[in-house]
Amino acid sequence: MEPMARRETDLWFTEYQTPDMRLGLRISDILLNIQTPYQHLLVVKTEQYGNLMALDGAIMITDRDEFTYHEMMSHLALCSHPKPKRVLVVGGGDGGIVRELVRYDVLEKVTLVDIDEQVIEASRKFFPSVSSALDNPKVEVRPMDALVYIKDHQDEFDVIIVDSTDPVDFAAGLFEEAFFRDVHRALRNDGMVVSQTESPMGHPGILRTAYREMRKVFPVVELCWGIMPTYPTGSWTYTLASKVHDPRKPLRLPPEGTKYYSSKIHEACFVLPPFLEKILGEGQDPA
């Protein structure tokens, strides 16, 4: 052991996206590192993407690229529902979706239900630009289990947005038919739901299952996709299910200043590459 050159501090956050694939991001500091009652909550300062929040080791948001995910989760439904006055956000405690929603004048009230209050607090503290609308008068924050909350509500929401973590542990139920039946009941007669449905290249099985579960409950189900650099494989899918309206057709313009979403992206994002159509197994659906 001879070499004695000056060394440098070398700190990394690593997400094992699968046992065989990992993304590493250089960090300069750990800002929060706690076990909540529900999950491990980590906030680090990365060189590449600004502040980063991970839950159970999986990246949820970074300062630099959260806009692609949050804009897709919000504007697709808000622009294609004719009158989205009451909106429920399931999960999404960071507040990124709520920030987008409150920019719509048509919106009267949004209720955010996240099981983990400490995620909300961490976002307030370390992601001011993401959590900026959590104190908006149109916003009600309910820290509780969304699976319980939704059973107590019916015929109440125009849009429900399911911003879940990956389908493991307490979040697994958010990808199942029983939950979508509760969502259906909580929606008004012409309601619409949007759910993140994981990576088109990385999670074909989860994606297909979620899509089929939603089709058991809703007459209209449409999948779309977009860029999301810090999520596994760098692209992501979103599934919209609807009682009446076609979610593929934008009816209004988004608020000014969107960075990822536009009316043209709205229409383009539902065009699926053939491999993705095949995953959905059109024509082979047993339902």
**Alpha helix locations (H) across the chain?**
66-80, 96-101, 117-126, 146-151, 177-186, 204-217, 263-268, 274-280
Q: How far is the CB of 277 from a copy of itself (least distance, A)?
A: 9
Nearest to 228 by CA among 241, 220, 238: 238
Q: Is 135 among the residues known to form the active site?
A: no
Taking CB under 8 A as the criterion, the residue among 58, 77, 150, 228 binding a copy of itself is 228
Establish if 128 lies at the interface with a copy of itself (CB under 8 A): no
Region from 75-83, 125-133, 182-190, 259-267 binding a copy of itself, contact rule CB under 8 A: 259-267
Establish if 68 lies at the interface with a copy of itself (CB under 8 A): yes
* Cα-based distances in Å from 168 to 165, 194, 207, 235: 8, 19, 14, 20
Q: How far is the CB of 254 from a copy of itself (least distance, A)?
A: 10
> Beta-carbon neighbour count of residue 72 at 10 Å?
27
Establish if 249 lies at the interface with a copy of itself (CB under 8 A): no
92 and 200 in contact (C-beta within 8 Å)? no
Q: Cα(181)–Cα(86) distance, rounded to whole angstroms?
A: 19
Establish if 223 lies at the interface with a copy of itself (CB under 8 A): no
Region from 33-41, 156-164, 197-205, 241-249 binding a copy of itself, contact rule CB under 8 A: 197-205
Catalytic pick from 163, 169, 246, 285? 163
Site string for a copy of itself, 145-184 (x = CB under 8 A): ----------------------------------------
The DSSP bridge pattern shows strands 58-62 and 235-242 to be unpaired
For a copy of itself (CB under 8 A), the number of binding residues is: 43
65 and 238 in contact (C-beta within 8 Å)? no
Establish if 264 lies at the interface with a copy of itself (CB under 8 A): yes
79 and 57 in contact (C-beta within 8 Å)? no
Enzyme catalytic residues? 163
- Residues of this chain that interact with a copy of itself (CB under 8 A) are 12, 14, 18-26, 46-48, 65, 67-68, 200-202, 225-229, 233-235, 258-262, 264-265, 267-269, 271, 273-275, 278
